[in-house]
Amino acid sequence: MSILAIIEIICVGLVTGTITSLIGASGVTVVVPALTLLFGINSHLAIGTSLLVDVITSIAVSIDYIKHKNVRLQASIWITVGSIIGAQLGSHRAGIISDTKLSCIFAIMLIISGISTLRKKNNSFDPNKGVHFKSKLAQMLALLGLGFGIGIISGLVGAGGGVMVLLTIIFILHYPMHQAVGTSTVIMAITALSSLLGYARQGNVDWK
């Protein structure tokens, strides 16, 4: 491996770690394009390897949040359960579609993510204006369903769902920001791990 390639990998790692530590987001939008464009890796292998990076990065970041007691998994357990199941289904589906189709799906995800970011860039949000449920059962079902959807996306295109989980925690569970980021990072690690296992079974992870 050339010195330039090593420098590129280090830069990608730094950007990914920064994104995860600040907002608990997946580094898939950085890692996958880097692996496919710079190193010529196919989409399945790039996404599987990106999930491995997500698991390692989010666990490392989660440790710090846990030390500062900014992780609350009790109320958010249903997001986690849903995301684990969804991630298995998503990764299975990803394994049976062509590399070209998976690349197109990933590109669409990037476009939607970019548009969403631009639209929300100048908009502040108030957790107190979030969703309120009449019963605990309704809240549980909503969290389970959202977690399931997030898991499918994670399994399909490798996005750990950090931002989606973060928004769910803020607007449904009304956690303070630091606890929301910490909790979403832990859930992202679990979701990414479930997706990673799915990709690993198909041989789509570069462990090197």
8 A C-beta contact, residue 17 and residue 26: no
The whole-angstrom separation of Cα 28 and Cα 5 is 19
A 10 A CB-CB count for 73 gives 14
Copy the structure tokens of residue 22: 């600040």
Q: Write out pLDDT tens, residues 30-72.
A: 778 888 887 888 999 989 988 888 888 889 888 988 999 999 8
Identify the residue with better confidence: 139 or 20.
Answer: 139
Copy the structure tokens of residue 154: 């994670």
pTM: 0.80
The amino acid that residue 202 corresponds to is Q
Q: Which of 128, 202, 115, 208 is nearest to 170 (CA)?
A: 128
Q: What residue segments make up the domains of the chain, in order of their start?
A: 3-201
Copy the structure tokens of residue 110: 């990037």
The whole-angstrom separation of Cα 141 and Cα 161 is 18
